[in-house]
Amino acid sequence: MIIAEGKPIQDILTMIEGFSKIIVAGCKGCVTVCSTGGEKEVGILASALRLARQVQGKSLEIKEVTLERQCDVEYLEPMREYADQYQAILSLACGAGIQFVAEKFRQHPVLPAVDTKFIGVTEEQGVWTERCQACGDCVLDRTGGICPVSRCSKSIFNGPCGGSKKGKCEIDPEVDCGWQLIYDRLRELGQLAKLETILPVKDWSRSRDGGPRKRIREDLKT
């Protein structure tokens, strides 16, 4: 799940300065699950913006909409029926969704109402933690299902670094040592021998090769 966080209201007010008619567009995908950009958050943000503009003595017309997803073109098409009636689109989707809306609605400024943080999980109600950096070369089969790139503060591939204490990271004592987690998990699985295999230097070109990554399934293309 992509985890995002709402931008400060003052930053958003600065972005929409000069616009009197905007669309506030939410997304029913990841940002809804992490309570950042769903229908509820669209309503709260729209109300806050209207109130702030009222205090300033300025008008602001807002159309509130929450799309199924903002990263699939078929879910964006319904906005074409009314988009031209507004000056800008304020999106609460993740960074991918915001950029996709900007590509498809080229005549409209598309503004980010959230900051995209990481790929993570719901650890408990109201708590989301990072699990993956989408590096494109997964080694979880060799590390007990625990990612050394995202779970180790130094992204060390053949750890631990030697600075951990009582299973906690030397960088932040509140953070579990990623390699302690890996060791404990491999021990539970009876696979500690995997630690004897040195993981090679990561080929980062598989994740960042100078441009945006792409995955193509020829059998699914139309």
Mean pLDDT of 89-95: 97
Structure confidence at residue 200 (pLDDT): 85
Using the CB atoms, write b or e for 135-160: b if 16+ within 10 Å: beeeeeebbbebbbbbbbbeeebebb
Structural domain tally of the chain?
2
pLDDT above 70: residue 209: no
- In this structure, the answer to whether residues 106 and 178 fall within a common structural domain is no
Query: With bands split at pLDDT 50, 70 and 90, how would you rate the model's confidence at 217?
Result: confident
Going by their DSSP bridges, the two strands 88-91 and 21-27 should be labelled as parallel
- In this structure, the answer to whether residues 112 and 185 fall within a common structural domain is no
Structure confidence at residue 68 (pLDDT): 97
Cα separations (Å) of 145 from 180, 191, 193?
A: 13, 12, 15
Structure confidence at residue 216 (pLDDT): 81
Structure confidence at residue 210 (pLDDT): 66
Query: With bands split at pLDDT 50, 70 and 90, how would you rate the model's confidence at 207?
Result: low
- In this structure, the answer to whether residues 56 and 110 fall within a common structural domain is yes
- In this structure, the answer to whether residues 29 and 110 fall within a common structural domain is yes
**Residues 112-156: tens digit of each pLDDT:** 999 999 999 999 999 999 999 988 889 999 999 999 999 999 999
Structure confidence at residue 219 (pLDDT): 86
- In this structure, the answer to whether residues 72 and 155 fall within a common structural domain is no
Its domain, for residue 83, covers: 2-118
Instruction: Give me Rg for the CA atoms of the chain.
Output: 22
> Which two structure tokens, joined as six digits, stand for 106?
């080229």
Mean pLDDT of 41-65: 97
pLDDT above 70: residue 157: yes
Structure confidence at residue 194 (pLDDT): 94
Lowest-pLDDT choice from 15-29, 68-82, 124-138, 176-190: 124-138
Lowest-pLDDT choice from 101-110, 149-158, 165-174, 205-214: 205-214
CB 6 within 8 A of CB 114: yes
Q: Is 132 within a domain?
A: no
Structure confidence at residue 206 (pLDDT): 66
Handedness of CA 32, 28, 10, 98 (dihedral sign): positive
> Which two structure tokens, joined as six digits, stand for 76?
């964006």
Other beta carbons within 10 Å of 28: 17
Mean pLDDT of 43-64: 97
d(CA 204, CA 185): 26
CATH of the domain at 30: 3.40.50.2300
Mean pLDDT of 87-115: 97
